[in-house]
Amino acid sequence: MLYFEDLVIGTKAAFGRYEVTREEVLEFAQKYDPQPFHLSDEAAAQTHFGRIAASGWHTCAMMMRMLVENMSTVQQAGLGSPGQNELRWLKPVYPGDVLRVETEVLEKTPSRSKPDIGSFLSRATVFNQHDEPVMTTVAIGLIRRRPA
């Protein structure tokens, strides 16, 4: 089990493989982000995207899927997240792209009010198949401290 005390600032990890399909891009956009450039080749051709691109929120969801799959390989005492400090969409994600994730632990802080938990900051970078970063985020994670 990975606890707060086991986190080491600077630790990096690389994982995941997610193939982006046109059908999924369209389905996500229709349900959650129905802007024309996510739904229509013709509309997308009139923008800087040039063709249908995944919603940035879809990119976040694909990253989350890869994060959760990676967490299933090592049991963690994680308690979720109160949010993100930073989120940047750097390049469009297109159908046919293959995504992966790299993370780095940036800092950790024991809770002052709840001695059984701590928080940590980590940066996640999503890359496409050309090793180009397409998204970065800095997230706050909550995690249990090792039981005494």
The answer to pTM > 0.85 is yes
Q: Tokens 């180009």 correspond to what residue?
A: 132
Confidence at residue 75, expressed as pLDDT on a 0 to 100 scale: 86
Q: Which CATH number belongs to the domain containing residue 109 in this structure?
A: 3.10.129.10
pLDDT beneath 70, residues of the chain? none
* pLDDT tens digits along 82-114: 999 999 999 999 999 999 999 999 999 999 999
Confidence at residue 72, expressed as pLDDT on a 0 to 100 scale: 87
Confidence at residue 93, expressed as pLDDT on a 0 to 100 scale: 98
Confidence at residue 148, expressed as pLDDT on a 0 to 100 scale: 82
Confidence at residue 74, expressed as pLDDT on a 0 to 100 scale: 83
Question: How many CA atoms within 13 Å lie on the side-chain side of 63?
Answer: 28
Domain limits for position 32:
4-144
Closest by Cα among 106, 97, 105, 95 to 126: 97
Listed in order, strand segments (DSSP E) in 79-148 are 83-89, 98-110, 117-127, 133-144
Report the domain count for the chain. 1
Are residues 95 and 58 in contact, defined by beta-carbon separation less than 8 angstroms? no
Are residues 87 and 125 in contact, defined by beta-carbon separation less than 8 angstroms? no
Q: Under DSSP, is residue 103 helix (H, G, I), strand (E, B) or coil?
A: strand
